[in-house]
Amino acid sequence: MAQTKFHMAHLTASEMREAVARSPVILLPLGSFEDQGPHMPMGDYLLADAMAEKIARQAAAAGYETYIAPVLPFGGTDYFGYMPGGIALSQTTVQAVLQDMLHSLLRHGLTRLIILNGHGGNCTMIHDVTRSILLREDVVIPSFYLWRVAAGFLPELIGADVAARSGGHGANPLTSIGMHLLPDLVREDRIPQTHTDKSAWGLKVSDFGTLDLDGALISVPFEGDRTASDGVARGDPRLCSAETGAGLTKKLVETGVRLVAHMVQQGQKKAI
C-alpha cells in the first residue's frame, strides 16, 4: 500500500504502532526563529520542515517508508539575541530537548533517525548529542546542515563568481530556497538595494563573529547586529532567485533520499 501520510503528527495512535513495527526512517527537522533579513520570514524552521516533507515523499516513492517528526522551531543561541521577537534556546536547553526527542524514539526501537538541521548554531550541539548516543547505544544518527550542503551546490548552479557574491546569511542559499518554497512569505520589495563590505572593531567582517586581520580570521563575541546589516551578512540577496532555489531544493532532496536509502541498506550493522 502506498504511503499517504508523512508527518508523524498526522498518524493515529494505531497507525503509529503499526508503522513502528516496520522500522521506518524518521526525519527530525530543526530550525530557528530569528532575523533572516528584512525580506525573509523569521521562521526558517518552515523551510526545514518543507524540505523534510519533500525528502519523505520522494523516499517513500522510492520504496522507503519515511516519516517526519514535529519540527523543533527554536535553535540554539548564537548571534541573534538582538532581534525583537526572536526566540532561541540556550545551548544546554536545546541539547536536552534533542536528547529527549531522540531517546523517546530510540526507546521503542526506532533507530533509523536522520536529523535535518536548518540552523548553524545547532551544529556542535547535534554532534555532542549524537556522539553520546553512538558511544552508549551503538546507534548512528546522521545529520546534515541543509543550508551548508546547499551552499556547496551553488557554484555548479550559478557559477563560482555569483555564488561567492551572493552566499551568506540573509542571501544565498536560504533566500533563493525561500523564494521557491515559500513565495508568499518572502517580501522581495524589501530586499536591500545596496550592498557594501561591512566592518566592525576597525576590521573587515568575514562572517558572523569573525573579522579579517590581514588575512587571519579572528573570532569576536559580537552579536549579528555588529557584523551584519538587518540580518544580511556578506552575501548580496539581490542575486538570489526562485530558479536557483528550485535547483537547490532538487539537489537537497536527492541528497536526503540517498541518505535515507543508505541508512536502510545499512540495516542493523554495528557502527563500532
**Helix (H) or strand (E) segment spanning residue 205:** strand 203-207
| Apex 81 CA angle, 185 and 215, nearest 5 | 95
The pLDDT of residue 215: 94
Share of the chain above pLDDT 90, in %: 86
117, 113, 116, 6: which is closest to 59 by C-alpha? 6
Say what the pTM is. Answer: 0.94
Let me know: does 179 contact 241? Beta carbons within 8 Å: yes
Asked if residue 184 has pLDDT above 90, the reply is yes
**Average pLDDT estimate for 53-63:** 98
Question: What domains, with CATH codes, occur in the chain?
Answer: 8-149+246-266 (3.40.50.10310)
pLDDT tens figures, 194-221: 877 788 999 998 888 899 999 999 999 9
